[in-house]
Structure 1
Amino acid sequence: MTSQDLPRPLTGRRALITGASRGIGADIARAFAAAGADLVLSARDASSLEEPARRLAAEHGVRTAVLAADLADPDVPDRLWAEASALMEGLDVLVNNAGLSHPETVQTLDTAHFDETLRVNLRAPALLAARAGAAMAASGGGAILTIASAAALRPLAEHYAYSTAKAGLVMATRTLALELGEHGVRANSICPTVVLTDMGQTVWGEQPAKAAPMLARIPLSRFAQPREVSDVAVWLASDAASMINGAEIPVDGGYLVS
């Protein structure tokens, strides 16, 4: 039995999910709606979210709204939190999921790629979480979920900027947990290995030669499915995880202990 098999554990919660148009973010949106949460879904292209938002509302009887948000824009974190909060008259959960990657070696590192990765994967979610945490502390509590990566905890070749940004975001999440725990705000990170979203399937699942060395380092000998990340996200946002704060939860099949 998973957390999503329980009777709608997020009923009454209002959540903002970034990067919700595809991949892990889209699956977390599905899981949260099934668990009873009202949702504000954001992505760079809001039109890509309109039909999924309508479908989730109809299937699960929850409220949904969509917002356009390009996290490379330095003004977006403050605006996104303010607008999302206004749409739902407050928010109880933030899922910081949006991110990008430019795989390249240290020797071929592109400065523009490095700067963009830090803007989108570290600066924007860290500021968004800070604004969310302050608002939640003032209103009695909430949950902040960082979708980080196993690459935040163990270096991964050709991911210099990505690992740097995700590691910084994990530390930011720990700091939120430390400073805001006394106000009822819990902040935790989920750290997956490769997840077989559509993009992950193309990059890893359809390239056995590329996947083999990575799979050899995972004791379960497989990559993660999106639902396996979403299950953890639902649990962390629910009362079932009420004493979990400042943790990094690996969803990696044992990669980090191999």
Structure 2
Amino acid sequence: MELGLAGRRALVTGAGKGIGRSTVQALHAAGVRVVAVSRTRADLDSLVQECPGVETLCVDLADWEATERALGSVGPIDLLVNNAAVALLQPFLEVTKEACDTRVITVTHIPLQFQIVAKGMIARGAPGAIVNVSSQASQRALTHHAVYCSTKGALDMLTKTMALELGPHKIRVNAVNPTVVMTAMGRANWSDPHKAKVMLDRIPLGKFAEVENVVDAILFLLSDRSGMTTGSTMPVDGGFMAH
């Protein structure tokens, strides 16, 4: 299916590794001009070697002022993929301040990047599309995921609220909600065979997601092929949430 994304300009956060990096690669291959955002310079440098022409921004999105400076001069953006995230999994009774601070900062600082990009779209009178990378954990409680589930739930509701308010400006906002994805982080967190089996037994398709499964969903939601879809949370979960 031709998605018609060529010539547009996209901003991808969390672009250094995993889903974000693969999203940049797929957008670049589709003829999109990409601005890749990561807090790790080495990841951005290697990404540019793989995808010549990709613009990079090295900034920690948890730093509000630095993010405002970096994104304030990024120029016109048509598409935004919000993928930056950290997963610190802990039993509820052992949740640390660090885990709360890390995840809560991730959510509370997200609106700034959205505001900057959306205001630019509105000022230009240009339609746009925003995709948040959420999780099945936003809608199903998972052991040792108290903080993660809570913040992904907040991200889903932010997606819906933004869709409501930005829709009149022709800006669509959706989320993808994957099951466990076989990124480096996914493999590290689900390497225990017993733990993995408990999850796999709840997935009708009997397998975890590959990165390209999520990237395909992101590109669809960015494209005009999903032109009547906004405020949605799209499962990429092998049927996990069908239970």
Post-superposition shift, 1:138? 2.3
SS in 2 for 1:136: helix
Structure-2 residue corresponding to 1:60: none
Q: Residue in 1 aligned with 2:51?
A: 56
1:149–1:192 contact (8 Å) kept in structure 2: yes
Counterpart for residue 232 of structure 1: 217
Shift of 1:105: 1.2
Counterpart for residue 129 of structure 1: 114
Deviation of 1:170 (Å)? 1.3
Match of 2:230 in 1: 245
User: What's the % identity of the aligned pairs?
Assistant: 36
**Distance change in 2, residues 1:76/1:148 (3 Å):** farther
Does residue 17 of structure 2 align to residue 17 of structure 1? Answer: no
Query: Where in structure 2 are the equivalents of 1:160-179 lying within 5 Å?
Result: 160-179=146-165
Matches within 5 A, 1:1-258: 3=1, 6=2, 9-57=4-52, 63-85=53-75, 90-120=76-106, 122-139=107-124, 140-204=126-190, 206-258=191-243
Distance 1:243 1:116, change over 3 A: same
Corresponding residue SS for 2:64: coil
Calculate the TM-score normalised by the size of structure 1.
0.89
Q: Cα RMSD over matched residues?
A: 1.5
Residues 80 and 174 (structure 1), Cα distance of their counterparts in 2 relative to 1, 3 Å cut: farther
- Retained in 2: the 8 A contact 1:218–1:252? yes
Q: Hey, what's the Cα distance between the residues in 1 that align with 2:51 and 2:4?
A: 16
Q: Tell me, yes or no, if the aligned pair for 2:159 and 2:231 is still in contact at 8 Å.
A: yes
Deviation at 1:180, TM superposition (A): 0.9
Query: Quick one: which amino acid aligns to residue 18 of structure 1?
Result: T
Aligned AA (1:202): A
Deviation at residue 112 of structure 1 after TM alignment: 2.6
* Per-residue deviation, residues 53-104 of structure 1 (Å, max 9, x unmatched): 23213xxxxx41111111221324423321322xxxx110110001001101
When residues 187 and 76 of structure 1 are mapped into structure 2, their CA distance, relative to the original with a 3 A threshold, is farther
1:175-209 Cα distance to aligned partner (Å, 9 max, x none): 111011111100000000100012212332x3211
Following superposition, the deviation at residue 154 of structure 1 comes to: 1.4
Distance 1:202 1:109 in 2: 19
CA–CA distance in 1 between the matches of 2:40 and 2:130? Answer: 23
Q: Distance in 1 between matches of 2:74 and 2:62?
A: 18
Letter in 1 for 2:87: S
Q: Distance in 2 between matches of 1:217 and 1:151?
A: 13
* CA deviation profile, 1:87-129 (whole Å, cap 9, x unmatched): xxx1101100010011011111112321221102x11223212
**Matched-pair contact (CA < 8 Å) for 2:8–2:78:** yes
5+ residue gaps, structure 2: none
Q: Following the alignment from structure 1 to structure 2, what is the Cα–Cα distance between the partners of residues 126 and 222?
A: 33
Q: Which amino acid aligns with 1:220?
A: L
**Distance across 1 between alignment mates of 2:208 and 2:57:** 31
Query: Which stretch has the larger CA shift, 181-190 or 64-73?
Result: 64-73
Query: How many Å separate the matches in 1 of 2:161 and 2:117?
Result: 14
Q: Residue 24 of structure 1: CA displacement?
A: 0.6
User: CA 1:230–1:197 in 2, change beyond 3 Å: closer, same or farther?
Assistant: same
Q: Is the contact between residue 136 and residue 142 of structure 1 (CA under 8 Å) also seen in structure 2?
A: yes
